[in-house]
Structure 1
């Protein structure tokens, strides 16, 4: 595709719309008065208004000088969206993906290419995620269900003054429905593919005249879509040495022979990976005696337990060493199973490892822990929050937001998804954090407002993991696992990561002259983080390979790794200035400059003591301009944004540490970059009942400088960043006389190819581009309190990848991918009362 003409046409179309909008007469006051704006964020009856609070005050979405996507609960339901990842798919230049099994129940999150994919608590996310203005600091457990949500606001570009730390790429803010004492509620039930069962319910009720409550819950369960097969069952002894797989490729089998059964009997299936098992309950209590006092208390508990993320092996390099070749079998492409298939271990007698029996090769007792980890992925946690608003005078108010969060997560991983003990382990994380934010809101004059505030945040994450990495062929007898042979990278790491952050901020809004408004912000942040290292054998003794205490073992400075502490301390100022001018009721134009940062941290994966290092914050400076328009009697909404950003101190992964040591798996401040792009969003209502909505984005990213010795090249693309992304959807509500209405809807989305961050033989590796279509048809009764819908996701059964984890260049020999879910159907019935 020739992209430059496409961009020129898009910009020309945008300029034409500005001219058209500027020429339109202002809408009649009677028309505006006739529109009903729901301040909870729902669509207005005819104006499609959404109220947002991105700038600490209620504003119409179209009056907010930010690149912001806001969707309400009705839109999310119409698009069959049930979690945060699905909502992000509809926003331009926003990428949220559930991670592969090696990263547990976490997500990768980026906006305009700025974010983070690694869940490790040593790193910061880069995209701020909030629920009711409460910050959630980790990517673990961030596949949030849309439980009782009122709206979602996705703010693109650095939000350093509004959202604060780690909102360098932008912010995603979810707002739940507040209790009103209405007595209303709903019940919803879903059944679908692979025994999908979904239940949702919520009720809002009064307790006293001034106190109301709301209780809601969700239950979701579904079998997985990737079959994990027992290799020894599929290929029993006796038979040829090769077979042809379902894709027509010739594969090797066990040297002892084997007859492949690619449509195996049920007893060959060990598990169905990629399952769903999500339950959550939420309670809210509201005390609202007057408009000057509004206190909201919320408590939420989540239990997310399911089989590990479904992954498939897509390529291998030969790994042939004594650490892995149990039974004389090397790691190679014999273990590539198919599109929705992966292999587990051979059927064989159990072996014992530190008193735990695990099935594996019938060998003389060597451990096979890497290949036989639990398939369970678990996240459970609770969140408590108290949001209070207190009006002191007609022009002065205070808001206080106090929150506490605690969770645990357990997940095992067989990285190589084969019976070979190549790479794997288990992970257990515990986390707590509490925060408080205090804001003073002042109406200085009829045309100027001020918000000043302070923020404090404290957290601790303990990360206990067992790692069994045998692809490194080390045979030095000095470094051996006691009584178990040579396994130098078999260790446990009960690491601790405490962190703290403090900030003060101020934001002002001033209408200089009618229609022309200035918004400015300033924030100062001071933060710190420590990482406490432990590298022990599974029996608790010190691992000498990872604790060079005397002789240098290839690189690094001798010194004990266990007991070492890496410390990061940083502080910085962030700024924002924006001007917007409302030309008429149909058109607002704006321009802004803003900064934001992703916090610094420490290297959580050192191989030597010399690699216990920290890195500084990554900083983005962003210039932005755009317009927001509502044309043709508000039947066409079209918003366009252009941006240019300069990234400094970019946090880049490296395989060679600053001291020259290798292997290395650290983040370093590796250089600078620039990016520019355009984003457009539209919604069209040509006739009553018919609506079309869509978005499109383009981004161009380029490194401008890199540190000496960097393993990243100036020509490398940005990992996880599709250049092009678009979505389009349409629905039409058809009246059915006295029996209600029926509404068919179709949604189509496209994602360009994405660089995975890995190279193989010098070539960047990509996730191929893909297009996905979803369809839904909904019947509603005449009173609109009962509905039934049939949805089909991935309508054309497209086979595509969400993530790819390629470790061949690192010597691990594996390249695996997480396929997207195949075509699925579901029927949902909902009753409002």
Structure 2
């Protein structure tokens, strides 16, 4: 049976059974079966029950995070419907690509914002490079689906991941955990909470992890996809009379010897003949699925004339380094009937590394890429009740990010090209939202936000890294080593293209919700939001891309039945998106192989998300969640011009032989049509403790990461090449099985657990990057992690 049918049957069957048998829900219970516990969330910037929150949100408490072994944001894909998290990038191993309801971002440059925002204790995290940072000592984690603009600090179109870390309290407590697994995975983590004085407490948590690589290079016996990570967080809280203040600081550093990149196939018509034997030897096969022969950059002819700093980049093997840290201060003050909240944040992000995109010993494409930035933000909120029926929250948000980004690539063993930029992003927004109780069970909500964004960048691109900018270089648009359109005279050390842009746009939220019964809650809403425009940093001369504008309608139902032994939440949505920001993989003269963003027409996306939790008998918890979604471009809104010699095509821009190709039939990127997550946990009292056995299955459908279309006038060979590229741009769906067995002692408070992830060693792909017919002539693949298992012991006091 197809998974879409299975998902629909589970969801519909549960709903019909629940509504068709109300008498059973009221029947007295003879057993000691406990119901599903309520969860308090802050998805709307105030504490309220998950079951009476009128948005689609998944909330995970510490026990759920531990049972599902959620250690980084990447692991959340297995826990929430409609959430897709991709990995695999020439920009570094630490970068993650988060998408919700088809709203994502596959080009995480500094001049472009994520579609899904991440918040840690209310602080907006602007860079996706922090997605792989450790999740330690978490009080609760929420996944909000749909546009978020009238409540959260930063305006986002896809949703938000809201991470709430544990606050200090007035009890002396602590935790120590040790873990060992295959690949010599050794990890320790700890946290301690200490009351310092009356109403003053501190909480410190940290973790260290060291793991060998999942793969090995047989040419030099060097492993890769390893991990060395260190994490530390401290929080200090004073809870005064009518006010409180919390200060926090955290730091995380991760390193490895390269990501898991492999070569899927190559095109002999493009790849030079001397390279072909090495590529053939390095092709991905089932027998060497988690290995590769990547050796990084090679020594090139003519490097003796370069600067010592540039020469040092040749002959370097793959590596990645990620370091993030931040500080925050949150103040809450009661002002009569009002509440004032101030959230101040500072975030620093730095990631850099070398990616061998072809995954072989051949010097086909090696890329040094990285970025560094700091982000300062300030948010002020005022909330309260105007009348018994009318409440509100209003505020202002300001943020400034300054940093740099670079991408330095060696193609076909030549000299390294350099694309780098300095970036300054500023944002300011005013927002307000009000809630009015029409009746004791019927409530309306209205919210509005207006945002002003500034995007400034200065490009410094060179055809050859390490040569003066003003020396003659053949084949560049300018005729010299500086390949940008200069805003001032080029010198040996100066090559600047200044780019400035400003954008402003609204966001809104209108909705109504109804508590139909004590256990039945319904809501409907429409929202609008936008994602800021920006500049393409790696391809100078391209115009700025415009903001991406999104609006949606959503309706949801949340019910608890049978003495809270059945919980079913569902949401249906339809999204309209204009000026869709899409990634383009291409060759730009003077820049080489690159990626850039352009606005691609109008998009429609629709779907349904279901979450079902059942406690059928004592100790058993069964959870099922999944989504069905689909989308398409609006016909005639997305096109491109392809130059075909002798075609005689004409187009509005006057390009000779330029054939306009309607691309509106192409699939949307990173938008799987099906997702399904199933988990079951049985707890059994045993001796002086409790045995808990968990099994979980996670399936995600096929995704497109690249899609192209040839003009009708193109040759048969070109059309065939495009067809191959489309097949390679589609990553098949996959499912993996995880498990955990834990024994929790009551006295002392010790848990001993064994776990397995990807039980069965499933071989699957995270992403493919095909460039068979354009410049490189290869299709690179990023493979998923192999099976892992281990044992962990946790002591709490």
Does residue 549 of structure 1 match 2:478?
yes
Question: SS at 2:190's partner residue?
Answer: strand
User: 1 CA distance for matches of 2:639 and 2:26?
Assistant: 58
SS in 1 for 2:129: coil
Q: Secondary structure at the match of 1:727?
A: strand
- C-alpha RMSD of matched pairs (Å): 3.4
Unpaired runs of 5+ residues, structure 1, are 36-43, 231-267, 359-365, 472-486
Match of 1:614 in 2: 544
**Cα distance, 1:276 vs structure 2:** 1.2
Show the counterpart of 1:653: 583
- Equivalent residue number for residue 712 of structure 2: none
User: 1:42-81 alignment to 2 at 5 Å?
Assistant: 46-81=35-70
Taking the aligned partners of 1:669 and 1:439, their CA distance within structure 2 comes to: 34
Deviation, 1:663, is 7.7
Are 1:410 and 2:347 an aligned pair? no
Does the 8 Å contact 2:588/2:594 carry over to 1? no
CA distance in 2, matches of 1:11, 1:746: 20
- Give distance in 1, aligned partners of 2:622 and 2:573: 26
Matches within 5 A, 1:60-459: 60-163=49-152, 165-230=154-219, 268-269=220-221, 271-290=222-241, 292-318=242-268, 332-336=279-283, 338-345=288-295, 353-354=303-304, 372-393=315-336, 395-459=337-401
* 1:11-46 Cα shifts (integer Å, max 9, x gaps): 754763673487787899xx9xxx9xxxxxxxx985
User: Is the contact between residue 100 and residue 310 of structure 1 (CA under 8 Å) also seen in structure 2?
Assistant: no
Per-residue CA shift, 1:608-633, capped at 9, x if unaligned? x5x33101111111101110011100
How far apart in 2 are the matches of 1:416 and 1:742? 47
C-alpha deviations, 1:196-240, integer Å up to 9, x for none?
01111000011110210000001111111121232xxxxxxxxxx
C-alpha contact 2:419 2:538 (8 A) present in aligned 1? no
- Residue in 2 aligned with 1:815? 779
1:493 aligned onto 2:422: no
Paired with 1:649 and 1:302, the residues of 2 have a C-alpha distance of 36
CA contact (8 A) 1:335 1:343 kept: yes
Structure 2 match to 1:521: 447
Distance 2:305 2:586 in 1: 38
Which among 591, 594, 602 is matched to residue 672 of structure 1?
602
Q: Alpha carbons of 1:798 and 1:440: their partners in 2 closer, same or farther (altered >3 Å)?
A: same
Per-residue displacement from partner, 1:653-709 (whole Å, max 9, x unpaired)? 3468999x9987431111001111011001111122111112010001111142442
On the 8 A contact 1:318/1:330 being kept in 2, the answer is: no
Cα distance in 2 for partners of 1:163, 1:21 equals 40
| Structure 1 Cα separation of the partners of residues 246 and 270 of structure 2 | 61
What residue in structure 1 maps to residue 640 of structure 2? 709
**Secondary structure at 2:774 match in 1:** coil
Distance 2:318 2:339 in 1: 51
- The structural deviation recorded for 1:84 is 1.4
Measure how far apart 1:758 and its partner are.
4.2
1:538 maps to 465
Q: Is the 8 A contact 2:488 2:496 kept in 1?
A: no
Q: CA deviation at 1:596?
A: 1.7
User: Corresponding residue for 1:727?
Assistant: 677
Tell me which moved more, 815-824 or 202-211.
Answer: 815-824
Does residue 568 in structure 1 map to residue 532 in structure 2? no
| 1:233 aligned residue | none
Secondary structure of residue in 2 paired with 1:565? strand
1:780-819 matched pairs, under 5 angstroms? 780-783=744-747, 785-819=749-783
Question: Partners of 2:770 and 2:2 in 1: how far apart?
Answer: 30
Q: Equivalent residue for 1:585?
A: 518
Give the whole-Å Cα distance in 2 for the aligned partners of 1:717 and 1:91. 23
Tell me which residue corresponds to 2:694.
745
| Aligned positions, number | 748
Segments of 5+ residues of structure 2 without an aligned counterpart are 642-660, 709-720
Distance 1:84 1:465 in 2: 25
| TM-score of the pair, normalised by structure 2 | 0.87
SS in 1 for 2:74: helix
- CA separation in 1, counterparts of 2:332 and 2:21? 39
Partners of 2:392 and 2:432 within 8 A in 1: yes
1:387-423 per-position Cα deviation (integer Å, ceiling 9, x unaligned): 1100111x21100000011132220122222222221
Displacement after TM superposition at 1:368 (Å): 11
Q: For residues 425 and 665 of structure 1, what CA distance do their matches in structure 2 show?
A: 13
Tell me the TM-score normalised to structure 1 length.
Answer: 0.84
